[in-house]
Amino acid sequence: MSLSRPGRCVSLGLCAMVVCGLSACGGRSLNSAAPVSPSPLGNLIQTIAPAAVLVGAGDIAMCGTPGAEATSKLLDNISGTVFVAGDNAYMSGTESEYRTCYEPTWGRHRSRTRPTPGNHEYRSPNAAPYYGYFGAAAGPAGLGYYSYTLGSWLVISLNSEADVSAASSQVQWLREQLAGNNAKCTAVYWHRPLFSSGPNGPNGDLREVWRVLYEFNVDVVLNGHDHLYERFAPQDPDGRSDTVRGIRQFTVGTGGAPVYAVGRTATANSEVNVSTWGVTSFTLENGSYRWEFIPAEGSAFHDAGSNQCH
């Protein structure tokens, strides 16, 4: 059978089958395990991954402050995989701080969390309590970088506190991961951002990482370190606007540590720059994504949007 006219169904039977494959027919939900009838499009429909949710923030748990509890309550009502973008337990990522500051709040979601370390984790020798707390979820012990699939997306967690030079083993591993990747969409997260309007940026040592990501058409970068929410327009590694291949960076250091005041002039291509607690949720779809910043109780700020993948 030839589908000679794109966008048109060959027959009413095929039209009905496609509609039922992509929506709830006869009261049956999309998550139903009912068998799919054999059809020319059967294999295609079955291999399309459902949308997945990636939600989280960085700069999270500091004992004696209410922020981590406020943001962990948001997670209680959001399904999906949780990312933590470093500086997860203040001030030094010790075993005690993970146990007494992080565990009662974001630790409620440890079983679905995929972490990355921050500079405060490395105030403890070799960030050993971080690796001990998250275990296998943190990737190979001591390295701090790993990859996984989420829906139809490739997701990579990097370690900005390790060597990130072009010749480093981490960047060479990153290049290999991206070169062997056939996913259409890719998201990458680590702690310190290359671009930032906050007091802790920019961090120029991450530019070589960005060059590799840009070479392989990565779509989204997520960072923490500056305690604010900032969204950038798609741009290249040198900070030039690029609506074709540019990467959109989100700084999400909003997990509960005291927020920074927005004081200096916004960096080029910065679209939103706000100091408040909250989490950012990404709905990873087939060929596109949607984002939503969800504020903690007491804040009226909200941000949402969508993009196609490269």
Domain residue extents for the chain: 12-47, 52-308
Q: Is the pLDDT of residue 39 over 80?
A: no
DSSP, res 310 = -
* Residues 168-179, mean pLDDT to the nearest whole number: 98
Q: Report whether pLDDT(96) > 50.
A: yes
Helix (H, G, I), strand (E, B) or coil at 222: strand
Higher pLDDT, 211 or 45: 211
273 Cβ neighbours under 8 A, 6+ residues apart: 197, 228, 229, 230, 262, 266
Quick check: 27 pLDDT over 60?
A: no
pLDDT tens digit string along 128-155?
999 999 999 999 989 999 999 999 999 9
Q: Which helix (H) or strand (E) holds 46?
A: helix 42-47
For residues 115 and 219, give the distance between their C-alpha atoms in angstroms, rounded to a whole number.
20
- Give the global pTM: 0.84
Give the per-residue pLDDT at 49.
78
Q: What percent of the chain has pLDDT over 90?
A: 81
| Residue 20 confidence (pLDDT) above 80 | no
Please state the rounded mean pLDDT for residues 188-215.
Answer: 97
Say which residues have a Cβ less than 8 Å from residue 16's Cβ, sequence separation at least 6: none
Q: Give the lowest-confidence range in 21-35, 79-93, 259-273.
A: 21-35
Class of 52-308 per CATH? alpha beta
